[in-house]
Amino acid sequence: MLSPVPLVRRVRSIGHEAIRYGWPRWLWPLLREVTEKPGIREVLPGVHHWTRVHPRIRAVVSSYYVEPVGVLIDPLVPREGLEWFEGRRRPEQVVMTIRHHLRDGERFAEAFGCELRCHADGLHEFAGGPDVRGFHFGEVLAPGVRALEVDAISPDETALHLEYGGGAIAFADGLIRPGGGPLRFVPDFLIGDDPERVKRELTSAFDRLLALEFDALLFAHGAPLLGGGKRSLREFVAARG
């Protein structure tokens, strides 16, 4: 019989890390979401951002709409409802940066006939539905929206390069900015069995992204960084080189 000691240590480690990441990085955005009820805002020309509390993980997450090409990124329905999209460019695609970010994609598909998309390596998640079409790294998903390889936390982990407002990179789960603070990896207890290896692979992927033109960073978990994004990402990579 295996000793329970390693398991107890692991649980304690997870608990300590959860507390360390809890305040103010996660709880402050949650309080703001509940009290201020922030609405949709245009963070780059044609790129809209909003936050909602994820119904399953009970944390504040970010969603984006690239209106010029009708691309929703990791969307929950905004506080303004689906009615906000009336009279605007009709959403055409829901693009997941990682297969776990379907979120309210099916509601958008039902309302607007959007196509659901994730990387081909994540399609097994949808074997029982809904209907999702795969893409590959390097593919242009819409004019000015290209899928880029991260492939660290899972093989389908994708970054999106947006050619809007000086350029932007949208991240999945590997890089976060909770509470609008400094760039961070997702906490170790959410990465997997070998977080140090995954963080090395994430750092290599982020280093490759630095060859692109961009000035903003968009996060599924955290506030957008709208200026100096490339410099901040370069410093993040250099500190772990």
Amino acid 5: pLDDT: 42
Amino acid 58: pLDDT: 76
Q: Count up the domains in the chain and report the number.
A: 1
Amino acid 178: pLDDT: 87
Amino acid 33: pLDDT: 67
Helices (H) and strands (E) in the chain, counts: 5, 14
The parent domain of residue 189 ranges over 5-239
For the chain of 241 residues, list the mean pLDDT of each consecutive stretch of 10: 43 44 56 75 98 86 98 98 97 98 98 98 98 98 98 96 97 93 89 90 98 98 96 97 77
Q: Where are the beta strands (DSSP E) in 67-189?
A: 71-73, 93-95, 115-119, 132-135, 140-142, 145-149, 158-162, 168-171, 175-176, 184-185
pTM (two decimals): 0.88
CATH number for 26: 3.60.15.10
Distances (CA, A) of 17 to 11, 62, 123, 188, 189: 10, 22, 31, 8, 8
